[in-house]
């Protein structure tokens, strides 16, 4: 039986102040919580969390850390916990491609050198590069007010460790940290993620925080995700990594950890989902520049510039293949053109390494759309390039000129997709609109599928010229009633049309669609002969070739409603529900049917 099991926790706590590290060694263990790539479901790393302190009378990790600080043993406790976390991390099958996130108490900043020295010894013994470890700066206190903070951050980066701002949005100095220091990750606090699918103010905040972070070359982690809807919203708004109970709870048992969560990749997406037009075009413009690693020698950089005289900069990666920024030739010129400048750089005593010269650059995933990339570029004054990643690893760079080519080619492709008869966008643009609108749950959205009833017998009887006239007539009516930039009009093909409406109520849309159906029915009556118009029907053949009587043409409209707050990325599901609603609309008396998503029969 252990000491912790044999003695009451309250008794242990009373005698803990002098022996807190000794007691902690008996009960403290490290639980790992996966941090996962939002787009792929692949585990990117693990946050190490302290567990077991309650066995010696402390209700939370904060309490035992505070007690250790009062007893002057905080550094020893944190060194013990961190070394155990590293030892456990080294046993994982995917440790060489993962990142271990460790919390750094602000009170340890003055002792940062000793902490780093101990960790480097453990890392060297386990053959783990420093870039596999990320320190999270706790926001319980103002880190930037500690005099030694700036020097410690500089040493962390030069040594190769990564840095994260924890609990962003609720602490003391997060904006100062983000503004003044090169930070690798920004962890959005749970407060801004909770119920984000139902709260527009939180969604707007998250969008802007993500954009700011990406411009600064910082990746974004959403903490505390507890529902599918929160996950989908965070993924849609550009969050790079996710963490929370919806993905996986912390566990001290490494046997329970997995390397990926396949269901996250498919969640809300079609299993047959293909690359977007933007990604296809962006991949064509990527320039895969040679790279240097932050732990390479200065000689490596000189040689790279010598072999590529027209290249002014190169991306810098850490040992895990993640971009840290760029190294530009102008950073080295003052040494190159000074007497003995190169020799000075190579001198280990002088202490200059590649990490001293790394300049942050915008970093964004390949799955971003072209307009967003251009916006990020425009907001980064003086940036040489935008670094693109695929699954968080370096994929290449794009320049502003390359992005302009992408946008021009995208506009050309969109124009080629337009229907020549009506001039309306075709199926690719319709799917892109549905995907984009489905991902943005700020307002209610209505997808209207319009289909002519009894068009075939009319076209057979009166010829394709009048059939085309009816199609053009409907397109003109659509433009009359739906004319703002927020409305989307598309021509699926033949006598099928699509209308996308954002922000209208059901009552507002019903009034306009009733008018559209009525006006079209009245206008197409004039295309029939006096005899057929008076009879109210014509004789023709159905699709099976059987002769039958058909009423005069009208338009049926099935409307799929996506309520405010709903985020969906599965366009095939949306299309399938629209097909059901369209069939129901054709059978209805009014020719107009509404169904919220998920309620179509």
Residue 445 lies in a domain: yes
User: Residue 591's domain is classified under what CATH number?
Assistant: 3.30.70.270
282 and 364 belong to one structural domain: yes
In the prediction, which pLDDT does 269 show?
A: 57
Residue 413 lies in a domain: no
Q: How many domains does the chain have?
A: 3
Q: Which of 269, 286, 320 is at the close of a domain? A: 269
Determine the 3-state secondary structure of 262 from DSSP.
helix
213 and 289 belong to one structural domain: no
Integer Cα distance of 385 and 388 in angstroms: 9
310 and 222 belong to one structural domain: no
Cα–Cα separations (whole angstroms), residue 149 to 145, 160, 174: 8, 17, 14
In the prediction, which pLDDT does 198 show?
A: 80
479 and 502 belong to one structural domain: yes
In the prediction, which pLDDT does 559 show?
A: 95
399 and 425 belong to one structural domain: no
Determine which of 175-184, 313-322, 435-444, 555-564 has the lowest per-residue pLDDT on average. 175-184
Mean pLDDT estimate for the chain = 85
- Check if the beta carbon of residue 108 is closer than 8 Å to that of residue 78: yes
Q: Which of 245, 269, 293 is at the close of a domain? A: 269
283 token code pair: 């991949």
Integer Cα distance of 102 and 588 in angstroms: 62
With 60 as the cut, is the pLDDT of residue 82 above it? yes
Measure the CA dihedral 482/488/491/497, to 10°. Answer: -60
Radius of gyration over alpha carbons of the chain, in Å?
31
pLDDT in tens, 384-412: 788 999 888 999 998 888 888 888 887 77
In the prediction, which pLDDT does 338 show?
A: 57
User: Residue 92's domain is classified under what CATH number?
Assistant: 3.20.20.450
- Top-confidence residue, 413 or 429: 429
321 and 350 belong to one structural domain: yes
465 and 366 belong to one structural domain: no
378 token code pair: 């425009």
326 token code pair: 């760029």
Residue 601 lies in a domain: no
Determine the 3-state secondary structure of 327 from DSSP.
strand
In the prediction, which pLDDT does 3 show?
A: 47
Q: What is the 3-state secondary structure (H, E, C) of 152-215?
A: HHHHHHHHCCEEEEEEECCCCCHHHHHHHCCCCEEEECHHHCCCHHHCHHHHHHHHHHHHHHHH
Q: How confident is the model at residue 1 (pLDDT cuts 50, 70, 90)?
A: very low
132 and 177 belong to one structural domain: yes
In the prediction, which pLDDT does 168 show?
A: 85
Residue 4 lies in a domain: no
Residue 1 lies in a domain: no
Determine the 3-state secondary structure of 259 from DSSP.
coil
237 and 318 belong to one structural domain: no
- Check if the beta carbon of residue 164 is closer than 8 Å to that of residue 137: yes
493 and 568 belong to one structural domain: yes
In the prediction, which pLDDT does 283 show?
A: 86
375 and 470 belong to one structural domain: no
As a whole-number percent, the residues of the chain with pLDDT over 90 amount to 36
pTM of the predicted structure, to 2 decimals: 0.73
CB atoms within 10 A of CB 246: 17
pLDDT in tens, 141-158: 677 778 888 888 888 888
Residues pairing with 398 in the sheet: 386
User: Residue 366's domain is classified under what CATH number?
Assistant: 3.10.580.10
- Top-confidence residue, 524 or 440: 524
From the list 237, 576, 263, 574, the residue with the least C-alpha distance to 439 is: 237
- Check if the beta carbon of residue 235 is closer than 8 Å to that of residue 246: no
Q: How confident is the model at residue 48 (pLDDT cuts 50, 70, 90)?
A: very high
Helical spans, DSSP H, in 449-551: 455-462, 464-481, 506-525, 530-535
Q: Which of 269, 295, 327 is at the close of a domain? A: 269
- Check if the beta carbon of residue 13 is closer than 8 Å to that of residue 56: yes
With 60 as the cut, is the pLDDT of residue 526 above it? yes
CB atoms within 10 A of CB 299: 11
pLDDT in tens, 260-273: 988 887 775 544 34
- Check if the beta carbon of residue 28 is closer than 8 Å to that of residue 8: no
Residues pairing with 549 in the sheet: 539
pLDDT in tens, 66-78: 889 888 898 999 9
pLDDT in tens, 113-136: 888 898 899 898 888 889 899 999
Q: What single DSSP character describes residue 354?
A: G
- Top-confidence residue, 544 or 165: 165
In the prediction, which pLDDT does 179 show?
A: 79
Cα–Cα separations (whole angstroms), residue 333 to 197, 326, 384, 512: 51, 15, 17, 67
Residue 172 backbone zone (phi > 0: left; psi -120 to 50: alpha; other: beta): alpha
pLDDT in tens, 322-373: 998 898 888 776 666 555 555 656 555 445 677 778 888 888 888 787 877 8
386 token code pair: 């935008």
390 and 506 belong to one structural domain: no
Give the HSE-up count for residue 432: Cα atoms under 13 Å, Cβ half-sphere: 18
Integer Cα distance of 599 and 208 in angstroms: 34
Helices 400-416, 370-379: inter-axial angle, 10-degree rounding: 150
Residue 209 lies in a domain: yes
In the prediction, which pLDDT does 16 show?
A: 55
In the prediction, which pLDDT does 270 show?
A: 44
Unique residue bearing structure tokens 């190159």: 336
- Check if the beta carbon of residue 540 is closer than 8 Å to that of residue 457: yes
End-to-end alpha carbon distance in the chain: 62
With 70 as the cut, is the pLDDT of residue 222 above it? yes
198 token code pair: 């139902």
Residue 78 lies in a domain: yes
Integer Cα distance of 470 and 31 in angstroms: 67
Residue 492 structural domain? 418-596
């Amino acid at each position: 039986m252990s000491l912790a099991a044999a003695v009451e926790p309250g008794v242990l706590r009373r005698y803990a102040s002098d022996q807190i590290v000794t007691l902690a060694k008996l009960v403290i263990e490290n639980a790992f919580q996966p941090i996962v790539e939002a787009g792929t479901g692949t585990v990117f790393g693990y946050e190490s969390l302290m567990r077991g302190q309650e066995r010696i009378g402390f209700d939370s990790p904060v309490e035992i850390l505070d007690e250790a600080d009062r007893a002057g043993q905080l550094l020893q406790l944190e060194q013990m916990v961190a070394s155990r976390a590293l030892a456990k991390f080294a046993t994982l099958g995917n440790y060489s491609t993962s990142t271990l996130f460790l919390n750094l108490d602000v009170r340890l900043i003055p002792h940062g050198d000793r902490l780093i020295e101990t960790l480097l010894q453990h890392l060297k013994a386990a053959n783990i590069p420093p870039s596999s470890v990320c320190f999270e700066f706790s926001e319980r206190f103002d880190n930037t007010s500690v005099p030694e903070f700036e020097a410690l951050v500089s040493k962390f980066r030069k040594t190769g460790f990564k840095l994260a701002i924890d609990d962003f949005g609720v602490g003391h100095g997060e904006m100062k940290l983000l503004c003044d220091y090169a930070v690798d990750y920004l962890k959005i606090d749970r407060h801004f993620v909770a119920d984000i699918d139902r709260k527009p103010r939180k969604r707007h905040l998250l969008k802007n925080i993500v954009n700011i972070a990406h411009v600064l070359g910082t990746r974004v982690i959403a903490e505390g995700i507890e529902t599918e809807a929160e996950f989908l919203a965070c993924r849609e708004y550009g969050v790079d990594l996710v963490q929370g109970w919806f993905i996986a709870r912390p566990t001290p048992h490494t046997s329970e950890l997995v390397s990926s969560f396949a269901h996250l990749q498919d969640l809300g997406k079609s299993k047959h989902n293909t690359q977007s037009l933007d990604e296809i075009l962006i991949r064509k413009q990527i320039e895969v520049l040679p790279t240097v690693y932050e732990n390479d020698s200065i000689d490596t950089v000189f040689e790279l510039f010598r072999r590529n005289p027209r290249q002014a900069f190169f991306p810098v990666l850490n040992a895990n293949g993640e971009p840290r920024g760029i190294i530009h030739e102008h950073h080295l010129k003052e040494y190159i053109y000074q007497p003995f400048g190169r020799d000075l750089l190579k001198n280990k005593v002088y202490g200059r390494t590649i990490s001293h010269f790394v300049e942050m650059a915008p970093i964004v995933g390949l799955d971003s759309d072209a307009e967003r990339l251009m916006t990020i570029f425009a907001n980064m004054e003086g940036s040489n390039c935008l670094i693109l990643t695929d699954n968080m690893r370096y994929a290449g760079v794009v320049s502003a000129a390359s992005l302009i080519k992408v946008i021009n080619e995208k506009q050309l492709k969109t124009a080629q997709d337009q229907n020549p008869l009506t001039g309306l966008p075709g199926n690719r643009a319709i799917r892109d609109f549905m995907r984009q609108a489905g991902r943005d749950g700020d307002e209610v959205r209505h997808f209207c599928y319009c289909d002519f009833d009894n068009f075939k017998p009319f076209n057979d009887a009166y010829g394709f010229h009048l059939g085309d006239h009816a199609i053009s007539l409907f397109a003109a009516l659509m433009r009359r009633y739906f004319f703002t930039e927020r409305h989307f009009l598309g021509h699926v093909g033949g006598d099928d049309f699509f209308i996308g409406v954002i922000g209208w109520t059901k009552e507002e849309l019903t009034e306009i669609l009733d008018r559209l159906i009525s006006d079209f029915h009245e206008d197409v009556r004039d295309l029939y002969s006096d005899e057929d118009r008076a009879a109210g029907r014509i004789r023709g053949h159905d699709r099976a070739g059987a002769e039958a009587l058909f009423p005069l043409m009208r338009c049926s409209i099935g409307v799929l409603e996506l309520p405010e707050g709903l985020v969906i990325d599965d366009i095939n599901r949306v299309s399938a529900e629209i097909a059901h609603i369209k069939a129901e609309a054709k059978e209805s008396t009014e020719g107009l049917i509404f169904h919220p998503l998920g309620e179509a029969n």
